[in-house]
Amino acid sequence: MPEQLDQPNGRTSTEAVGQAGAGGAMEFAATEAASIGQATGPSARARSLWSDAWHDLRRNPIFIVSALLILFLVLIAIWPQLIATGNPLACDINMSQLGPAPGHPFGFDTQGCDVYTRTVYGARASVTVGVCATAGAALLGSILGGFAGFFGGWWDALLSRISDIFFGIPIILGGLVFLSVVTNTTVWPVVGFIVLLGWPQIARIARGAVITAKQNDYVQAARALGAGPTRMLLRHIAPNAVAPVIVVATIALGTYISLEATLSFLGVGLKPPTVSWGIDISSASTQIRDAPHMLLWPAAALSVTVLAFIMLGDAVRDALDPKLR
């Protein structure tokens, strides 16, 4: 974190007190410095909100578990070959719906494709959609919401009404309508659709956070000392308003992944030959009595992924919320 790079390194309390004495400062000041040193121990270092949050997070088991899971997911999304040697599109119809076999621990699906390989490869679509949609929605939402909160007035009114309109669109219905006309089989139409319907939520949070931060005395103080609007927004308001946006975005990431699966299940999200948990769940759902293993593995992978992101969001929220300290 950039905040940490600015720290003078290796300050100890004894040094601080020594300097205070040498500088001939008033006695009360020296004792004050000493008491600070004692209270926080020799490892006392300057801690910003962010390093404080990081300090908390490292000690939170929920964070550690979810972060390891997510790290693993991202790794296999980038290099699925690490743990799956097969080809998810190489299928043998003779093996249709067969159970686990040596080298095929999760069995085969209707087309005779290896469920294990497909489940591993499915992470890529989910993680890509989740990360890209969240990044897009967070960027768009915080810029629009942030400006609305900062400038207020008609811009704020206009934006709030527009986001109300987007809130009013039922997400599944919207997906069925918008995405059924798209023929592109990549992940991008789905990402675009989620960004389109997801930004108002982030914008509302960002708007509220900016309005709260704007009313702080230090923003007024910065203004009184000659800071212009750009500097006020970027240096004094944004860093103090970004925490709630990060929290909501992390939780949203999990829900966007399940939304992608839902849309793919309904046949309007990702389309074959893209490998996706949603597509696999969809095709397995009709065979649930004959071959439950086909449904079990992609569904479990999806649940664990969504859970991991929501847990991460929870942990981040706990760490960034000063009221919980």
Partner 1 sequence: MDTLLDVRDLHVEFRTRDGVAKAVNGVNYSVNAGETLAVLGESGSGKSVTAQAIMGILDSPPGHITRGRIFFQGADVLSLHREARRVLRGARMAMIFQDALSALNPVLSVGDQLGEMFVVHRGLSRRDARARAVELMDRVRIPAARQRVGDYPHQFSGGMRQRIMIAMAMALEPDLIIADEPTTALDVTVQAQVMELLAELQREMRMGLILITHDLGVVADVADKIAVMYAGRIVETAPVHQIYQRPAHPYTKGLLDSIPRLDQKGQELYAIKGLPPSLLRIPPGCPFHPRCPMAQEVCRTDEPPLYEVGPKRGSACHFWKETLGG
Least Å from the CB of residue 138 to partner 1: 19
Is residue 216 at the binding interface for partner 1, with CB under 8 A as the rule? yes
Q: How far is the CB of 42 from partner 1 (least distance, A)?
A: 13
- Among positions 17-36, residues that touch partner 1 (CB under 8 A) are 17, 19-20, 23, 25-26, 29-30, 32-33, 36
Rounded-to-integer distance, Cα 17 and Cα 35, Å? 10
From candidates 61, 103, 228, 273, binder to partner 1 by CB under 8 A: 228
CB of 44 to partner 1, least distance (A): 9
Helix (H, G, I), strand (E, B) or coil at 100: coil
Give the shortest CB-321-to-partner 1 separation in angstroms.
Answer: 14
Q: Annotate 31-89 with DSSP letters as a single string.
A: HHHHHHHHHH-TT-----HHHHHHHHHHT-HHHHHHHHHHHHHHHHHH-GGGT--S-TT
Q: Distances from the Cα of 246 to the Cαs of 178, 254, 313, in angstroms?
A: 28, 13, 8
Least distance in angstroms from the C-beta of 239 to partner 1 = 4
**227 near partner 1, judged by CB under 8 A:** yes
47 counts as binding partner 1 under rule CB under 8 A: yes
User: Which residue lies nearer to partner 1 by CB, 96 or 240?
Assistant: 240
Q: Which residues pair with 101 in a beta bridge?
A: 104
Handedness of CA 288, 293, 294, 295 (dihedral sign): positive
Q: Which residues pair with residue 104 across a beta bridge? A: 101
Q: Does 7 bind partner 1 (CB under 8 A)?
A: yes
Site for partner 1 contains 321 (CB under 8 A): no
Q: Is 222 in the site for partner 1 (CB under 8 A)?
A: yes
**Given candidates 112, 208, 239, 267, which one binds partner 1 under the rule CB under 8 A?**
239
Is residue 260 within 8 Å of residue 194, measured between CB atoms? yes
The tokens 């720290």 sit on which residue? 7
Of 43, 226, 323, 325, the residue at the interface with partner 1 (CB under 8 A) is: 226
3-state class (DSSP) for residue 104: strand
Are the C-beta atoms of residues 3 and 50 closer than 8 Å to each other? Answer: yes
Per CB under 8 A, 160 contacts partner 1: no
Residue 122 and residue 298 in contact, taking contact as beta carbons nearer than 8 Å: yes
- Selected from 240, 266, 287, 307, the binder of partner 1 by CB under 8 A is 240
Which positions lie near partner 1, rule CB under 8 A?
A: 3, 6-8, 11, 15-17, 19-20, 23, 25-26, 29-30, 32-33, 36, 46-50, 216-218, 220-228, 231, 235-236, 239-240
